[in-house]
Amino acid sequence: MPKLELLPAVDVRDGQAVRLVHGESGSETSYGSPLEAALAWQSSGAEWLHLVDLDAAFGTGDNRALIAEVAGAMDIKVELSGGIRDDASLAAALATGCRRVNLGTAALETPEWVAKVIAEHGDKIAVGLDVRGTTLRGRGWTRDGGDLYETLARLDSEGCARYVVTDIAKDGTLQGPNLALLRDVCAATDKPVVASGGVSSLADLRAISLLVPEGVEGAIVGKALYAEAFTLEEALKAVAA
């Protein structure tokens, strides 16, 4: 059985690595330099970095130069998220050398454009399915954007390669992942799913690992690492077993 991939998160707001609660603007706790955080995860053995430009996601500016600097400094694979909604922002994201980008709002608001870039870029494009209940949220998770399963069926039919699934109610809360949601999404698609939001313990990671046969490929871990609930080395060991 393939092992669960772990993606430590670096979310950037106003030049700082931060954690939010429920993805809400204004709920930030700051953790200093994004580059230092990313290099720390890399030297701890990460194979992936989940890098988010929160200002671009919220429409409060962007951290494009810093994001490019961080992505450029990585020897590991980078998944880039936040505010990638048109040709210019997609080109800037891909120019960082990231392995893939994560589209959110665009999949809800400009589906034709998303279908076009999926056709052009294949598995360099993932779509973030960020939900409250089964309602998708866009614009930095601030606006409703349709039904999860209708959108998933549409994206599947367009050849979307992968989904990053976040239960917003869990994100940044250390309350554990929404395993039922992950199972339901895996049952609705043959494409790999990356779990995001709420991981609080090594037991949570082991529970997500049990969903690998159902289609979960990876797990994004943010707050738990910054809060030192466990180390990345411990997490990598836990999912390798």
Ligand X SMILES: O=C(O)c1ccccc1NCC(=O)[C@H](O)[C@H](O)COP(=O)(O)O
Residues recognised as catalytic: 11, 130
The helix (H) or strand (E) run that includes residue 36 is: helix 34-43
To ligand X, the closest distance from the beta carbon of 182 in angstroms equals: 13
The residues, ordered by sequence, that sit 6+ positions from 162 with a Cβ below 8 Å of its Cβ are: 100, 123, 126, 127, 191, 192, 193, 194, 217
Contact string 78-117 vs ligand X (x = CB under 6 A): ---xx---------------------x-------------
The three-point CA angle 58-198-194 to 5° equals 80
To ligand X, the closest distance from the beta carbon of 5 in angstroms equals: 14
Site for ligand X (CB under 6 A): which residue of 74, 100, 138, 140?
Answer: 140
Stretch that binds ligand X, among 72-80, 87-95, 106-114, 196-204 (CB under 6 A): 196-204
CB-count exposure of residue 181 (10 Å: 0-12, 13-18, 19+): buried
Name the amino acid, one letter, at 156.
D
Tokens of 132: 């409250």
Confirm or reject binding of residue 166 to ligand X (CB under 6 A). Answer: yes
Confirm or reject binding of residue 41 to ligand X (CB under 6 A). Answer: no
Confirm or reject binding of residue 8 to ligand X (CB under 6 A). Answer: no
Site for ligand X (CB under 6 A): which residue of 31, 41, 48, 141?
Answer: 141
The residues, ordered by sequence, that sit 6+ positions from 95 with a Cβ below 8 Å of its Cβ are: 68
Confirm or reject binding of residue 19 to ligand X (CB under 6 A). Answer: yes
To ligand X, the closest distance from the beta carbon of 8 in angstroms equals: 9
User: How far apart (Å, rounded) are the C-alpha atoms in residues 17 and 10?
Assistant: 6
Per the listing, tokens 């454009």 go with 113
The helix (H) or strand (E) run that includes residue 94 is: helix 87-95
Tokens of 217: 């490929």
Confirm or reject binding of residue 52 to ligand X (CB under 6 A). Answer: yes
Site for ligand X (CB under 6 A): which residue of 16, 42, 178, 196?
Answer: 196
Q: Residues in the site for ligand X, rule: CB under 6 A? A: 9, 11, 19-20, 23, 50, 52, 54, 57, 81-82, 104, 128, 140-141, 166, 171-172, 196-199, 220-224
